[in-house]
């Protein structure tokens, strides 16, 4: 005789919301919005809102599918153990259906209401995050977040494509900026939550190659990131407002990255610089992207 | 199923039904405005 697994009560709607990783979505929505507002075309407010909504829903779908696939991993990490699936508040199948449905809805709505170019890039970004990062790379290589970082770099490209129907050099630079920003951002986090990743068996760089290599890589990735961040100004794609803000913010980022790379840790406040770099890196993207929009409006 | 579990299930089903209803209503409103925007865009060309 077989015993059936006990049925869970239907999941609370807040758990479906939690599946979409709303905090991560904030940055995705913001960079997408900035990509759209930086485009040299006026967007209809309703269609602009729809495009940003689709970017948010697409990011939510990717987050839900990520949590569906990684439920076992989330269960052994302190930071993620309280999520709906590892905490046993939701059936895995519900998360899968929710993620696939939301992803398909976001792409179809983008295609019908905005344009096909934006819908195609949105579809690629969802598939990239789920298949390339979550399923393929995350558990296999310490370079997981380097290549996987591309998934988070798509929103400014989608925003720009939503406004213009095409892709240009500036949104490609914004893509490259987020792409190159991701390794220092995540490796700074991985340095001070290393034990969590190690317990879960995720081959994050500090776990596999050690702290010294990670610190050096943070420093190395900051160099091309800084060049890409400032490049729109000398290339004539952005004005002095962006140029000055991006240069100042990048200088602070580079300083913090250099301190992390130098590996000077304080006995009183361990991982102080790593935590500072992680916190500042989030502010950095908000300010630099915001400056691009302000620069466009001033011009 | 105990009465408490039954109550929890009903409470969650009701909350989910309300959320879905609100989202559907918002979707209808959004489609209406998208249609208006598309008509305006078409008139501009």
DSSP-assigned states of every residue in B1-45: --HHHHHHHHHHHHHHHHHHHHHHHHHHHHHHHHHHHHHHHHHH-
Is residue A62 assigned to a domain?
yes
Looking at the fold, whether A70 and A90 belong to one and the same domain comes out as: yes
Is residue A7 assigned to a domain?
no
Residues of chain A in contact with residue B14, where contact means CB-CB under 8 angstroms, are none
What's the gap between Cα A198 and its chain centre?
22
Q: If you average pLDDT over residues A146-162, what whole number do you get?
A: 92
Structure tokens at A2: 């077989």
- pLDDT at residue A93 above 80? yes
- For residue B23, give how far its alpha carbon lies from the nearest alpha carbon of chain A (Å): 12
Instruction: Give the pLDDT band of residue A62 (cuts 50, 70, 90).
Output: very high
Residue A1: per-residue pLDDT: 47
- For residue B42, give how far its alpha carbon lies from the nearest alpha carbon of chain A (Å): 12
- Spatial separation of the C-alpha atoms in residues A205 and A191, rounded to whole Å: 9
CATH number at residue A84: 1.10.357.140
Looking at the fold, whether A100 and A220 belong to one and the same domain comes out as: no
- For residue A194, give how far its alpha carbon lies from the nearest alpha carbon of chain B (Å): 37
Instruction: Give the pLDDT band of residue A267 (cuts 50, 70, 90).
Output: low
Is residue A5 assigned to a domain?
no
Is residue A225 assigned to a domain?
yes
Max Cα distance, chain B (Å): 64
Q: To which residue do tokens 């170019």 refer? A: A117
Last residue of a domain, one of A166, A190, A217: A166
Tens-place pLDDT, residues A210-262: 899 999 999 999 999 999 999 999 999 999 999 999 999 999 999 999 999 99
Looking at the fold, whether A159 and A19 belong to one and the same domain comes out as: yes
Chains A, B: CB contacts within 8 A come to 32
Residue A4: per-residue pLDDT: 54
Is residue A180 assigned to a domain?
yes
- Number of domains, chain A: 2
Looking at the fold, whether A21 and A145 belong to one and the same domain comes out as: yes
Give the chain A residue whose CA is nearest to the CA of B15: A13
Looking at the fold, whether A44 and A95 belong to one and the same domain comes out as: yes
Q: If you average pLDDT over residues A127-153, what whole number do you get?
A: 89
CA distances from A1 to A5, A6, A8, A36, A261 (A): 13, 15, 21, 59, 60
Among residues A198, A182, A111, A115, which one has the least CA distance to residue A149?
A182
Residue span of the structural domain in which A142 resides: 13-166
Structure tokens at B41: 């865009």
Looking at the fold, whether A128 and A199 belong to one and the same domain comes out as: no
Q: What are the counts of helices (DSSP H) followed by strands (DSSP E) for chain A?
A: 13, 0
Tens-place pLDDT, residues B1-42: 788 888 999 999 999 999 999 999 999 999 999 999 999 988
Looking at the fold, whether A149 and A182 belong to one and the same domain comes out as: no
Length of chain A: 299
Residues of chain A in contact with residue B33, where contact means CB-CB under 8 angstroms, are 46
Residues of chain A in contact with residue B28, where contact means CB-CB under 8 angstroms, are none
- pLDDT at residue A192 above 90? no
Is residue A241 assigned to a domain?
yes
Is residue A2 assigned to a domain?
no
Residues of chain A in contact with residue B12, where contact means CB-CB under 8 angstroms, are 9-13
Is residue A6 assigned to a domain?
no
Give the chain A residue whose CA is nearest to the CA of B40: A44
Q: What is the mean pLDDT of chain A?
A: 92
- pLDDT at residue A104 above 80? yes
- pLDDT at residue A266 above 70? no
**Percentage of chain A lying above the pLDDT 70 cut:** 96
Looking at the fold, whether A137 and A238 belong to one and the same domain comes out as: no
- Spatial separation of the C-alpha atoms in residues A13 and B13, rounded to whole Å: 9
């Amino acid at each position: 005789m077989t015993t059936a697994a006990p049925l869970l009560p239907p999941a609370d709607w807040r758990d479906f919301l939690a599946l979409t990783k709303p905090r991560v979505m904030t940055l995705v929505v913001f960079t997408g919005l900035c990509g759209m507002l930086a485009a040299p075309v006026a967007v209809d407010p309703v269609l602009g809102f729809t495009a940003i909504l689709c970017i948010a829903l697409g990011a939510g779908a990717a987050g839900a599918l990520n949590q569906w696939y990684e439920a076992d991993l989330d269960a052994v990490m302190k930071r993620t153990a309280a999520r709906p699936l590892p905490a046993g508040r939701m059936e895995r199948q519900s998360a899968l259906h929710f993620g696939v449905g939301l992803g398909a809805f976001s792409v179809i709505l983008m295609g019908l209401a905005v344009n096909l170019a934006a819908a195609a890039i949105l579809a690629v970004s969802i598939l990239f995050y789920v298949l390339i990062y979550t399923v393929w790379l995350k558990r296999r290589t310490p370079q997981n977040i380097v290549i996987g970082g591309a998934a988070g770099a798509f929103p400014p490209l989608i925003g720009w494509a939503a406004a213009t129907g095409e892709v240009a050099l500036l949104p490609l630079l914004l893509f490259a900026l987020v792409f190159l920003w991701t390794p220092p951002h995540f490796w700074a986090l991985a340095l001070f939550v290393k034990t969590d990743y190690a317990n879960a068996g995720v081959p994050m760089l500090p776990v596999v190659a050690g702290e010294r290599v990670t610190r050096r890589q943070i420093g190395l990735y900051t160099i091309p990131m800084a060049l890409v961040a400032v490049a729109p100004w000398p290339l004539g794609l952005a004005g002095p407002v962006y140029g000055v803000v991006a240069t100042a913010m990048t200088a602070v980022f580079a300083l913090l990255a250099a301190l992390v790379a130098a590996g000077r840790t304080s006995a009183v406040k361990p991982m102080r610089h790593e935590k500072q770099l992680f916190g500042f890196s989030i502010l950095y993207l908000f300010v630099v992207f915001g400056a691009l929009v302000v620069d466009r409006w001033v011009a | 199923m105990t009465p408490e579990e039954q109550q929890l299930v009903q409470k969650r089903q009701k909350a989910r039904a309300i959320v879905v209803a609100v989202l559907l209503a918002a979707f209808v409103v959004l489609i209406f405005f998208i249609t208006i925007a598309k008509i305006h865009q078409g008139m501009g060309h």
